[in-house]
Amino acid sequence: MNIIIITGPPYSGKGTQCDELVKDHDLVHISTGDHIRNEKENQTELGKIMSDYDEKGELVPDEIMKKLLDKLIEENKHASGIILDGYPRTIPQVEDLVKVLSERELSINSIISIEVPRDELLIRAKKRAETSTREDDKNPETHYKRIRVFEELTKPTIEYMKKKFQVKTFDGMGAIEEITERIKASM
């Protein structure tokens, strides 16, 4: 099974690029954010715990995310590949991911990092707020908090991954199709 990670700041287009990659490759797209919302909507045990963190724009604690990740990988164990969207976000999550994968005799095959300037992220957040049906997308304070959390926790995590794995970095500015083509050409 191929394990691909796509990382970058909120509003950088990670989900959009995952959707494009899934079209041409035999991959299961696992968006941890979508699964957190699903767990919350279904009022599962994990969902109840995650609700408070997600609504505040905070990261769900690593141990809870490890349980969710383990569950998602188990559910998709027969897939030929998984693309993880938005995970890992902290250094302990990288270590948890490596542990969960090694228990299944799997490893990370590719890491894609999308970079977008902060000013552009805020413009994209505002545009998303205008069309989104999600309440958390409509709160400007949540946008700033998500970006700040990325800068404080996830950006150092990406640097950590660069020391341990090959991370391919892509400019997230420009037309979606152009970004997709650059990523596909690297795979």
Binding site as annotated, residues for AMP = 32, 37, 58-60, 86-89, 93, 134, 146
How far apart (Å, rounded) are the C-alpha atoms in residues 21 and 29?
Answer: 9
Positive or negative: CA dihedral 68, 90, 184, 14? positive
Tokens at 179, concatenated: 């970004």
Contacts of 113 (CB under 8 A, 6+ apart): 6, 7, 8, 158, 167, 168, 169, 170
Which positions make up the binding site for ATP? Answer: 128, 174
User: Could you give the C-alpha distances from 76 to 27, 40, 103, in angstroms and in order?
Assistant: 10, 20, 15
Instruction: Give the three-state DSSP class for 82.
Output: strand
Which positions make up the binding site? Answer: 32, 37, 58-60, 86-89, 93, 128, 134, 146, 174
